[in-house]
Chain A
Amino acid sequence: MARTIKFRSSDGEVFDVEEAVAMESQTMKHVIEDDCADGGITLYNVTSDILVKVIEYCKKHVDAAVGSFIKALGGVDKDLESWDGEFVNVDLAIQVDISNASNSLNIEGLLDLTTRVIADNIRGRSHKRSVRSSTLKMSSRPRMRNGFGRRTPGRS
């Protein structure tokens, strides 16, 4: 039976994840290899609804890689691409949360997928729409007259 790892989300929900699926995350891979995962892993910056999505992505890609000769030959799995497209067809806020989670968990494929979708969302917007749209404000810091952002205390 495959070994499972317990993941606890920031809101306290616990998920049992197969080791092979957990190791899609480079961060978790190092934790598991260092034998630090026995007591479970708490993710303070990932909520349960986002963690479900991340686990779903990792499981799909692990399953697709096992049975895929095309990927082994360096080809492109069209079915998997189509699944990825449906996977990120969600609200912008959820895309952002998944992107943050994939960055902290170091899941390269998921990070690339989410950032690509966000970039496609931004691409081609008119200047007025970009400035006026509150959804595109990438920083809540006040802007100096010369256009450079000013760092507010306590924020990175």
Chain B
Amino acid sequence: MTLPSSSSSIATTTTASGGAFSPFALLSDDIVLNILAKLETDPRDWARLACVSSLVRTVCCRSRCYRSLPSDLLPSTAASAAWPSLHKLCVCCPGLLRAGVLLEHSDFGLERDIGPHRSVPFCSSSCPPIPPSQIHPETTDSCWSLFDDLYFDTIYDHSEFQDAVLPPIDSSPSETAVRGGSAATRKRKKHRVGPAGAHLASGPWTVSREQGSKLLASRFRGDCLYMCDWPGCVHAEEKRKYMLFRGVFKNFKRSRVWKTISDSNRGKIALGCAFCACRETWDLRSAFCLRRVFGFHDDGEPVVRAYVCENGHVSGAWTERPFLVHWYVFFILLILMMLRFGIVIVNLVESG
């Protein structure tokens, strides 16, 4: 009786000329899968082995996704390239960088929304105002942005000021330019406590639609956004605590959020996705896709921020809503208390 030899399991190990030969290369795929199954408890082991074994991406990630994700989110084909991204989304926190926490927010994100500030040259009386059609002579396909509206609201028609003699302002562009743009690009050195890059998420490695419905505005109620459980991965930084979350849209290209983004022709920002190869994402807050109750902190940082890539992967961060104490409210209350106290004393004196 003879047993057929398997082409993948050769008993002798030989050293190939010109380099070391790996004994692991002799293992058959089912043994490799057996070993990988024993390494499932720590996803970082799979991440390390993904570069040396394709089975991690093709088989292991798929089996893990089947067990931990809702069936709605699972790709229809077993050979889909989305399995590694979905698996990473389950277990990996995007980190402060990909969640947008490290973006400059001192200008409330205006430079990212409406573009950098352009210095407005002051024209003399001999210089006619530039009509809108000539503002962008080269970029015929550029859309009309909010910045253009603001610009043309501020220039005035010289025909209304025929008699006025206005001295020309002779100054260098660097002095006339409002420093808002430079303030936005000024990089403040921030001392970070936690990791800026992606890392293993703390908390449960599951996603649910219930969490996603808390993020989106009411008109996007029909979209299925699955997000990790509250509070996500908590990063206690110097200034405030950030609760980093991650999520994914089901059928993103058929969602209302996608329609809103594409119809409004919103520009992407140079913030890469933490879960796939997308190098740019859309800001859901500036696209008005998040609940309007979320506001800003005093330093311009949004209470909630979220960024979505073309594949529907969402990264973001919650912060605790600021407790606004207006100083004038405090003084008004103090004055009222003093008045009341004064009235009480006067009454006592009169009665006494």
Give the interface of A toward B (CB within 8 A).
10, 27, 31, 36-37, 39-47, 50, 92-93, 96-97, 99-101, 103-104, 111-112, 115-116, 118-119, 122-127, 130-131, 134-141, 143, 146-149, 154-156
* Beta-carbon contact of B38 and A44 below 8 Å: no
Mask: chain B, 19-40; 1 = CB below 8 Å from A; 0 = not: 1111111111111101100110
Question: Which residues from A are CB-within-8-Å of B35?
Answer: 115, 118-119, 122
Task: Using known A-B contacts A42-B1, A123-B45, A148-B54, determine if residue A47 contacts B81 with beta carbons closer than 8 Å.
Answer: no
Q: Does B135 contact A (CB under 8 A)?
A: no
Known: A111-B34, A137-B24, A147-B51. 12 other contacts (CB 8 A): A92-B23, A96-B24, A100-B31, A103-B30, A104-B9, A122-B45, A135-B23, A136-B24, A137-B22, A147-B50, A148-B57, A148-B58
A102 to B21, CA, bound (A): 22
16 contacts between A and B (CB under 8 A): A42-B2, A44-B4, A46-B11, A50-B11, A93-B23, A103-B9, A103-B28, A104-B9, A122-B39, A123-B42, A125-B48, A131-B51, A135-B22, A138-B53, A141-B54, A156-B29
Task: Using known A-B contacts A42-B1, A45-B10, A115-B31, determine if residue A147 contacts B23 with beta carbons closer than 8 Å.
Answer: no
* Beta-carbon contact of B52 and A136 below 8 Å: yes
Q: Which of B302-327 contact A (CB under 8 A)?
A: none
Q: Does B97 contact A (CB under 8 A)?
A: no
Choose among A31, A50, A115, A143 the residue with the greatest number of B CB atoms under 10 Å from its CB.
Answer: A115
Question: Which residues from B are CB-within-8-Å of A103?
Answer: 9, 28, 30-31
Choose among B19, B22, B32 the residue with the greatest number of A CB atoms under 10 Å from its CB.
Answer: B22
Interchain residue pairs A-B with the least CB separation, the first 7: A149-B54, A119-B38, A100-B9, A138-B53, A137-B22, A134-B20, A130-B48
* Choice from B6, B34, B39, B49 contacting A45 with Cβ under 8 Å: B6
* Choice from B11, B38, B48, B53 contacting A100 with Cβ under 8 Å: B11
A142 to B94, CA, bound (A): 30
* Choice from B5, B13, B27, B31 contacting A44 with Cβ under 8 Å: B5
* Beta-carbon contact of B81 and A138 below 8 Å: no
A37 to B1, CA, bound (A): 6
* Choice from B5, B27, B34, B54 contacting A96 with Cβ under 8 Å: B27
Question: Which residues from B are CB-within-8-Å of A45?
Answer: 3, 5-6, 9-11
* B36 to A: closest C-beta gap in Å: 8
Task: Using known A-B contacts A47-B12, A136-B49, A155-B8, determine if residue A27 contacts B39 with beta carbons closer than 8 Å.
Answer: no
* Beta-carbon contact of A10 and B11 below 8 Å: yes
* Beta-carbon contact of B3 and A42 below 8 Å: yes
Give the nearest-CB partner of B50 in chain A: A147
Question: Which residues from B are CB-within-8-Å of A125?
Answer: 48
* A35 to B: closest C-beta gap in Å: 10
Q: Does B174 contact A (CB under 8 A)?
A: no
* A132 to B: closest C-beta gap in Å: 10
A27 to B9, CA, bound (A): 16
A142 to B58, CA, bound (A): 16
